[in-house]
Structure 1
């Protein structure tokens, strides 16, 4: 029963309940029906205090569920800088990939999480990682973003981090060509200034 209590407390963000379940013998590696660990459930709900208790107890941020998500990968989706900082002391695998073959940086670029992108780039994560769609974080920001200010900022952050602005997608289409095709003039300007070509 203690494992179920731990999972429930983590899901609900009950840090005291998490601590009590652990003291009662609950396993940090307990899984719910989808293979999610307590730490992943806490990360999904952005329950920072509950996650901190789990990390301090030795929870692994890299264990993946039946969709290949992990506590660390989830932060790229939620964009939570606080959760990212909470998980870093646990030693997340920056090369761990989700079901799309992407590292945590890529969904953050797609969703416009500016502050998260700024923070995760400080970890040394691979700025040019290519997922199974043939896209980098830069390509996702250009292709799946709407060209608005957050995406302009993300493109700037990626450029500053050394992203290859001419790394084309699987069809050979460059970030600049995608930006031009989408009418993302500000992004196109930034890419050109960084040496991009169509």
Structure 2
């Protein structure tokens, strides 16, 4: 066994070397983690702001196109709800999941419909988005009908969205909020006017129009 001062110094040197290597490895791992977080934040930020050139650079640099933030929002979801159609197209071209929902089950199509972003809706529809995907409150068509967004409703109906989906239908939403032009195109698309009993209550577009005093809505439904 070596117990002289030379051996002790050698052992100390090895220990120091190993310790330095461990410190360097930890520092490297921290640097990698920070870089990943920064790239994630940068991609989300670029999508939010519609900064398509930066978005493309980050995607070409290997950023995950389907990454999610702490609330489950993907870059495409952010681009959709902010109305950035060019950014949305760039993300779709890079392989973004067009139907990936956030924690509230909003898909990009639902997000775009919520805000009435017609160009984003067209982009998503052209890419094959699920027209009848639902969150707890309904489909993209229901959101657009509730808003009275005539153009959005037209885009979704022309693409094949179901006007009769759910208990609380798009027609009912249009009637409740008094959106006559929206209601008329839903009727033209074959929306069912028949009321339903839900929890022993008569629910339908005509009872809703009568309750809220929308005479023009009631007249359109009775034609």
TM norm. shorter chain > 0.5: yes
- Using CA pairs under 8 Å that are at least 6 residues apart, name the structure with larger relative contact order, 1 or 2: 1
Give runs of ≥4 in structure 1 deviating > 6 Å. none
1:24 matched to which residue of 2? 61
1:118 has 2:149 as partner:
no
Contact 2:125 2:131 in 1 (8 A): no
Aligned residue for 1:172, secondary structure, equals strand
Counterparts of 2:188 and 2:150 in 1: how far apart (Å)? 13
> Structure 2 CA distance, aligned partners of 1:115 and 1:153?
10
Deviation at 1:105, TM superposition (A): 0.3
TM-score (norm 1): 0.88
**Aligned counterpart in structure 2 of residue 93 of structure 1, from 123, 130, 136:** 130
Q: Are residue 138 (structure 1) and residue 166 (structure 2) matched?
A: no
The residue matched to 2:203 in structure 1 has which SS?
Answer: coil
Equivalenced residues, count: 184
Q: Say yes or no: does 1:190 pair with 2:211.
A: no
Root-mean-square deviation (CA, aligned residues, Å) is 1.3
Cα deviation, residue 140, structure 1: 1.1
Contact between 2:46 and 2:55, CA under 8 Å: does it hold in 1? Answer: yes
- Note the residue ranges of structure 1 that are not aligned, 5 or more in a row: 194-198
Question: Structure 2 length normalisation: TM-score?
Answer: 0.79
The runs of 5 or more residues in structure 2 that have no matched partner are: 1-37
Is the CA contact (8 Å cut-off) linking 2:131 and 2:156 kept in structure 1? no
State the distance in 1 between where 2:65 and 2:196 align: 41
CA deviation profile, 1:153-175 (whole Å, cap 9, x unmatched): 01100000000011436222331
Structure with the higher helix share, 1 or 2: 2
- Which of structures 1 and 2 has the bigger CA Rg? 2
Q: Which residue of 1 aligns with 2:193?
A: 165
Q: Select 1:40's aligned residue among 77, 81, 91.
A: 77
Cα displacement (A) at 1:20? 0.6
